[in-house]
Chain A
Amino acid sequence: MSDSLNYAYYPGCSGTGTSIEYDMSTRAICAKLGITLNEIPDWSCCGSTPAHTVDHTLSSALSARNLALVEKMNLSTAITPCPSCLTNLKTATHRMGKDEFRDDVNKLLDTPYNGGVDTKSVLQIIVEDMGLDALKSKVVKPLKGLKVAAYYGCIMNRPPEVMNFDDPEHPMAMDNILTALGATVLPFPLKVECCGASFGIPRKDIVMSLSGKLLDAAQDIGATALVTACPLCQMNLDLRQDQINSANGAKHNIPVFYYTQLIGLALGLDEKELGIDKLCVSPRKVINDIGAEDAS
């Protein structure tokens, strides 16, 4: 079976920097789960949000350069942890289905891309290709007692015609994974609400307000940790949590994990390998409490 779990891997720029722990934990759990990641040699930036705000041909060309590299690897599927990269790769594929647009994009490229590469999130292949039962069978340290809110962010599943995965309003993939790991997943009403995205630097006030609401909601439902699948969401909620507290007069102290880090912990992997020490809000207490027979 592990034969089939073989993918081209696109880490994305933030995976080499601000979300390095997402990349580390993704690689660590895939190695443990028998999922082979072949990093796309010499991949370049997908253009993220800024490129599509300037022009769609430019944006798709930046993505398509990478898809053309995947074609050369003779692999049919490329996966990435980052929803923003995924959106760009998928949107490029989707729009390049139209001949005229494809020709315009290929005019910008050294090596033209003619389609044929499927793109998915790491989350999607864990749920669909590997399966929850297989994941569950490898859990050695169930996340008993850990009460989490799973936050998907705005673009992991939307728009549905492009993303083609899970429910656009009420996604369950991470909820189901976390349940399989033994955690208690609380119903989180703001699963797909935007966190403020990439406005952290040019309009911090927006992030303070939108991410502030997410932290408030997580606290209201009694979550002791938030779980994300997006580097931007994670950064807004974790790195900026103190700023959010000062802006809103709040006192949140909620660790914000990547779901891959929690899979890693449940698989018994070393915290160091999962980049747990890279998180800003310390998850120490929350991790120490895992499995402790609850006093209640």
Chain B
Amino acid sequence: MEIVEVQDLCKTYGTGEAKVEALKHVSFTLKKGEFAAVIGESGSGKSTLLNCVGALDEPTGGRILIDGQNLFAMGEEERTIFRRRNIGFIFQSFHLIPELNVEQNIIFPLLLDHKKPDVGQVEEILAVLGLQERRGHLPGQLSGGQQQRVAIGRALITRPKLILADEPTGNLDRKNSREVMELLTKASRQYQQTILMITHNPNLITSVDRVMQVADGILSDLGGNVNEKLS
């Protein structure tokens, strides 16, 4: 079953002299439970791609279907609600809400839907993330690695069909990076969640199912056995 379907996606910034074609006719699909990594040089268009797929940014051309639904055929409010129920985000600079504690940050997407969080599920996620002791702490009282784990918890809590991660380990050291990767891999294996992750770090793509490369706005699929090819 296809969770992500991107067809002929184009994105241009600016006009005239300042015109930048950040994405040029990008097409690809992701299956349920697939863990895909996007690599490419800085400025190649990776973040633009992720933001379009996550409906944070509007493409200039093409179509994006998430779970069969056309994102940009929806109205603004509908799209927002769709996003919070079906797409989880993890950013390089965590973007936690400073006024909410660990537990509240994790259940935030549920609270936005005015849903009562399932206690068992919250406990499970806190346990998986190793944050049970820290549940009452504010983000300012946590280390970078812990903050990113909270952000992962927040992306997992709604059991979204798709998780988008833009360099989730970019601000972390090696040990914390490995932990984050393990958590993401677990999510994709255990809960059958589709993950699209941007990374700079070639060491991190050993555990992913599929690698795609963006170069100058053009996407090419490197397939699954990319590690042998790169080495």
A complexed with B: no
